[in-house]
Amino acid sequence: MFPFLPSLIYCFPLLKKPYFGEHITSFYSKRSNGMNRKFLLIIISICSLSLLTSCWNRKELNELAIVVGMGIDIEDGKFVVTVQVVNPGEIAESQGGSGKSPVVVYQEKGNTLFEAIRRITTVSPRKLYFSHLRLLVLGEEFAKKGIAKTLDLLSRDPEMRADFYIVVAKNKKAGDILKIVTTMERIPVQQVFESLQSSEKAWATTIQITMDQLIYDIISEGISAKLTGIKLIGDVQDGGKLENTQQTKPTAFLKYDSIGVFRKDKFIGWLSESESKGLNYALGNVTSTVVTIPCPQKGKTAIELIHTTSELNTEVSDHKPKGIIKVTTVGNVGNVQCKTLDLTKPETISILERETKKNIEHSINKSLYAARKKYKIDPFGFGEALHRSNSDYWHLIKKDWLQILENMPVEIDVKVKIHNIGKIKNSPLNEIKN
């Protein structure tokens, strides 16, 4: 357990030998010189280095089952834990492997989450290792009953890192999500992990939430928790077969679908796609997305937003709070599907900017209505903003905050600037004769 002990056992007897003893004595003697002092320091340094060269808690790779994904469900009052474990032999195989699955899925039940995890050792030949966990999937029915007890274990275990994403299985069990094999990545959880990152950056209806952020949102009095939903399209039995990856269009696949909201630690419902995007506009989570707007006469135009910033504040005026959401975005004309749009005219660009502004404001207003009127929660964090700007007032009204928020006025200020119309000016559709 302590491999440095032999080194110490070897070093200390040296100090007792006459030669070294003389130098030690001379070190404390008034007649000691610089050479003796340096020599003694070298000996002590060598012995001290032995304390740093230890691997007392090492774990060999061939003794571990590396977990990349975990799902938690509830069934008959018991926790059901599903883990997706990497098959190292298959991943290491060159030329596409041997045809076996690159991952193995194990599942067990328990009265507590910890018990269910340990029960998996009855079917897994190796002990589960969670330091490389990438994704935690919560079953929707499980999330409705509360997830605080689950987060206690995940945050308490020193082996768990806090950088994995957490999502909710929409209308499905978490275990079913982890059984689906994917096409683009050999490890299914890796594909789901990367898809969440790309969808938030390019489409803006999803949100990346890690464990630390989720715990903060749950325990905070001024903001409500939210998680991205993931759907299983198709049959779980078909999706778990390797043949599912050998088709141009898999019969079963996974898809991210809007944002789910919580009241404290309990899941209470889903936002629509437009509401999810509106929430992300307000929170400043939009990197890029596409806004489809109507043409002045007939048809539609797609505007690509390429840079978006936002500010969310809560101010107090005449002893009443007021929310402020400011969104500033820059976009390009991405797709024109109408013949009457003349992009060479400045007034046409102004029309597109105005319509884009309306679209963003509409999405934000829809998400505000859903949060305040339908679910009566604060996923925007207006309460947190009020706490920062006016903590004295916040402490006076925080017990009644959700009732106050329901009818609180919110000012929405959106600024849109279209910088680029692309490589061509007007659409080729304009040249087509009727």
pLDDT digits (tens, 9 = 90+) for 362-386: 999 999 999 999 999 999 999 999 9
Domain 273-431 falls under CATH 1.20.1440.130: no
| Sign of CA pseudo-dihedral 108, 113, 117, 118 | negative
Domain limits, CATH 3.30.300.210, in the chain: 273-431
Q: What's the pLDDT score for residue 296? A: 83
Angle at 12 between CA 11 and CA 18, to 5 degrees: 100
| 140, 172 Cβ separation under 8 angstroms | yes
- Show the tokens assigned to 194: 């990367």
Residues of the chain with pLDDT under 70: 1-35, 49-61, 91-99, 433-434
368 by Cβ neighbours in 10 Å (0-12 / 13-18 / 19+) ranks as buried
- In this structure, which amino acid lies at residue 389? S
Q: Tell me the helices (H) and strands (E) count for the chain, helix number first.
A: 16, 13
Give the ranges where 58-112 is alpha helix by DSSP (H): 88-92
Select from 173, 264, 154, 144 the least CA-distant residue to 211. 154
Q: What's the pLDDT score for residue 227? A: 98
Measure the CA–CA gap between 39 and 282, rounded to whole angstroms: 67
| 290, 302 Cβ separation under 8 angstroms | yes
Contacts of residue 100, Cβ cutoff 8 Å, sequence gap at least 6: 87, 90
211-219 helix and 148-156 helix, angle to the nearest 10 degrees: 130
Give the ranges where 203-317 is alpha helix by DSSP (H): 211-219, 236-239, 273-283
Q: What is the pTM of this model?
A: 0.85
- For 106-165, the pLDDT digits (tens) are 999 999 999 999 999 999 998 899 999 999 999 999 999 999 989 988 998 888 888 999
Measure the CA–CA gap between 288 and 205, rounded to whole angstroms: 11
Q: What's the pLDDT score for residue 98? A: 61
Q: What's the pLDDT score for residue 433? A: 66
Other Cβ atoms less than 10 A from the Cβ of 248: the count is: 5
- In DSSP terms, 315 is beta-bridged to 322
Measure the CA–CA gap between 223 and 372, rounded to whole angstroms: 12
Q: Which residue's entry shows tokens 């992300």?
A: 280
Q: How many residues does the chain have?
A: 434
| 40, 52 Cβ separation under 8 angstroms | no
Q: Which residue's entry shows tokens 């790779």?
A: 61
Q: What's the pLDDT score for residue 49? A: 67
Measure the CA–CA gap between 277 and 205, rounded to whole angstroms: 5
Q: What's the pLDDT score for residue 338? A: 86
Measure the CA–CA gap between 217 and 20, rounded to whole angstroms: 62
Give the up-direction half-sphere exposure of residue 335: CA atoms within 13 A in the CB hemisphere.
10
| 90, 97 Cβ separation under 8 angstroms | yes
Measure the CA–CA gap between 27 and 105, rounded to whole angstroms: 65
| 316, 388 Cβ separation under 8 angstroms | no
201's enclosing H/E stretch is helix 188-202
Select from 336, 311, 332 the least CA-distant residue to 323. 311
